[in-house]
Amino acid sequence: MSKKILIIGSGIAGIAASLKLKSYGLESTIVDKGNFIGGRIGTREEKVGKNTYYFFHGAQFFTAKNNNFKKIINLGIKEHYIKKFGDFSPPRFRGFPTMRNFLTNISKDINIQQNFKITGLKKINKKISALDEKSKSWNVFDAVISTIPAPQNLELMNNFPVLKQSLKTASYDACMALMFYFDEHPLKIPDYFEFYNNPSILSWMAASNNKRYWTAHTKGSYSNLNLDTNKLLIKNEILSSIEEFLSVFMNRPNINFSSLHVWKYAKIKQIVVGKQIDPEFPIAIAGDFMEGPNVESAFISGEKAAELVFNRLG
């Protein structure tokens, strides 16, 4: 008998869960409140005059040590929508030509609906009912996997105290992402800079797949403290840091456009200690908050949630 399974969130955890369920012969529907697939594997498209610029304002790269994830990455490399990034050990990868292309390609056979927000979940006999914000209607599912960041997930779990308890144990660092571009191709600079061992407010700065378009990220300590600070002030502080670093490579870096994105729940500081699936009902949680602060961990958690749900549906 076919089952009706809902996955909340079209980030990598939701997509991994849906692909895994498909491998068990189970179809699912992913819904996401955002305009685009991918969640924190973000690509920002900015139109300035006739030109369109792409910035990678979320994850900058991903690793692939897990065997199932490696298979997906290897296929992407073969089919040219994933490329190796830099010369790191273990190797790092990126979507090509944008980060988002990675997700659109791996989810071609999955049913995904964007601009679809779930605002409530409740128990109905042995099933789960989900409230769609737009139509204000409740729809019943045989199983649900919710992959939204832990603090937002908590708000949905009032009827599932065990999962609520799990979600309470996770915590995040925020991150400010400043997107900027150079007037001219900056020939003499590397593609990325890491600042972890530097007293700078920045943690990382990298070009997108075109070296003119960059994103700089602030450290968690700075971001957490400045969530309510005036955005213009933050933008100027980040720009001065960027200019200071680049002064080693060029006289006056010509940075012409910049936009700031604030990620309130950016990187996991503490993962969940607790259960991933409700002890009675076919509802599970997945996301980086279950496994670790990166794309690969979110993928692994999505697969685990799918396996738990599959076993529960028996």
Q: Site residues (CB under 6 A) for ligand FAD?
A: 8-14, 31-34, 39-41, 58-62, 117-118, 147-149, 152, 175, 177, 217, 263, 266-267, 287-288, 293-295, 298
Q: How far is the CB of 125 from ligand FAD (least distance, A)?
A: 23
DSSP track, the chain: ----EEEE--SHHHHHHHHHHHHTT---EEE-SSSSTTTTS--EEEEETTEEEEE--S---EE--SHHHHHHHHHHHHTTSEEEESS-SS-EEEESSSHHHHHHHHTTTSEEESS--EEEEEEETTEEEEEETTT--EEEESEEEE-S-HHHHHHH-TT-HHHHHHHHT-EEEEEEEEEEEESS--TTS-SEEE-TTSSSSEEEEEE-SSTTEEEEEE-HHHHHHTTTS-HHHHHHHHHHHHHHHHTTT-SS--EEEEEEEEEEEEEEEE---S-SB-SSSSEEE-SHHHH-SSHHHHHHHHHHHHHHHHHHH-
CB of 109 to ligand FAD, least distance (A): 18
User: How far apart are CB 280 and ligand FAD at their closest, in Å?
Assistant: 23
Residue with Cβ nearer ligand FAD (298 or 309)? 298
Q: Which is nearer to ligand FAD, 246 or 285 (CB)?
A: 285
- Output 58 or 253, the one with its CB closest to ligand FAD: 58
- Residue placing its CB nearer to ligand FAD in the complex, 91 or 293: 293
Nearer to ligand FAD, 49 or 196 (CB): 196
Q: Least distance from C-beta 262 to ligand FAD, angstroms? A: 10
Least distance in Å: CB of 158 to ligand FAD? 14
